């Protein structure tokens, strides 16, 4: 199963340069890296990244994360994937800029 991490460009560039990341400031503060499922992603972006241009969407296969990935209840009672270790660049299956049109984020077809 694929899960998704939204990065600001500087965060993505840091991951691409070093090969690993502990995530965004909120991830470091919470002690885990926040991910969303395909079904949760639109709401995550609307809630946390609405006015932020230049985002990068990264897909990660849950099988590559092992037991360090926990599914925990969060927003609206949904279970969200949380990674309790650094994310390695090699674990990113694919990534792409999250495009915008007139201030609205445009999602790839794989996102419902």
For 79-110, what is each residue's pLDDT tens digit?
999 999 999 999 999 999 999 998 899 999 99
Domain-embedded: residue 112: no
Give the pLDDT confidence score for residue 87 in this predicted structure. Answer: 99
Q: Count of residues for the chain? A: 112
Residue 55 is assigned to a structural domain of this protein: yes
Q: Is the pLDDT of residue 28 over 90?
A: yes
CA 33 to CA 88: how far, in whole Å?
12
Q: Residue 12 sits in which domain range?
A: 2-101
Per-residue pLDDT band for 35 (boundaries 50, 70, 90) equals very high
Residue 110 lies in a domain: no
**Six-digit token pair at 8?**
């600001």
Distance from C-alpha of 86 to C-alpha of 68, rounded to nearest angstrom = 10
Q: What is the CATH number of the domain that holds 60?
A: 3.20.170.20
* Count of CA atoms in the C-beta half-sphere (13 A) of 5: 31
If one counts the domains in the chain, the total is: 1
Residue 94 belongs to some domain of the structure: yes
pTM of the model: 0.96
Q: Indicate whether 35 belongs to any domain.
A: yes
């Amino acid at each position: 199963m694929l899960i998704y991490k939204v990065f600001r460009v500087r965060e993505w560039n840091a991951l691409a340069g070093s090969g690993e990341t502990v995530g965004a400031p909120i991830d470091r503060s919470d002690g885990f890296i926040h991910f969303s499922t395909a079904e949760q992603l639109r709401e995550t972006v609307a809630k946390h990244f609405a006015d932020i241009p230049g985002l990068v969407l990264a897909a990660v296969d849950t099988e590559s994360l092992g037991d360090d990935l926990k599914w925990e209840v969060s927003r609206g009672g949904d279970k969200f994937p949380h990674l309790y270790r650094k994310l390695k660049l090699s674990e990113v299956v694919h990534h792409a800029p999250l495009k915008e049109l007139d201030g609205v984020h445009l999602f790839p077809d794989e996102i419902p």
